[in-house]
């Protein structure tokens, strides 16, 4: 579970039960990620976490990075694509095409975030309900 707490105007802190936290704010706000940036980071991060062992074992290196960006609709209120580019050194790899196949398959099968984005997961919103007053009949 992720908990969010308001810490200032347009500023929130998201935290998990393991002690990690991240600042969330409006787009362009200093020192924070926007919600869309977090979505983009989640897609890229999931691809990295999913492929890390495969890539590092086959490349013999320890350098692995990703770049991702949100492609938004014309209205700007919808993300229509999140292209993720992984970068790693292929100089020690005998068969780069085989590595590409294995990495692509792993991400497509096991990356929860990108699989969820492909399925267009719902995000039901629950709001507080007004409390019953003493004068209302039960």
**Each residue of 107-125: pLDDT tens digit?**
999 999 999 999 988 899 9
Residue range 98-111, pLDDT digits in tens: 999 999 999 999 99
- Contact between 46 and 34 under an 8 Å Cβ cutoff? The reply is no
Q: What is the pTM of this model?
A: 0.87
Strand-pair partners of 8:
11
- Contact between 83 and 71 under an 8 Å Cβ cutoff? The reply is yes
Residue 23: both structure tokens together: 């600042």
Q: Where are the strands (E) in 9-111, listed by range?
A: 11-15, 21-25, 65-68, 71-72, 79-81, 84-87
φ, ψ at 47 (rounded to 5°): -65, -40
């Amino acid at each position: 579970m992720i908990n969010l707490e308001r810490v200032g105007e347009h500023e929130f802190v998201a935290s998990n039960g393991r002690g990690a936290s991240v600042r969330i704010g409006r787009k362009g706000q200093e020192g924070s990620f926007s919600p869309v940036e977090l979505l983009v980071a989640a897609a890229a991060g999931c691809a990295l976490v999913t492929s890390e062992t495969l890539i590092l074992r086959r490349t013999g290196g320890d350098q692995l990075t990703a770049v991702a960006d949100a492609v938004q609709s014309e209205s700007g209120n919808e993300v229509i694509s999140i292209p993720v580019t992984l970068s790693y050194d292929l100089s020690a790899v005998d068969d780069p095409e085989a590595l590409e196949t294995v990495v692509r398959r792993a991400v497509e099968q096991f990356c929860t975030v990108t699989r969820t984005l492909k399925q267009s997961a719902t995000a039901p919103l629950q709001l507080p309900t007004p409390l019953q007053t003493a004068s209302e009949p039960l």
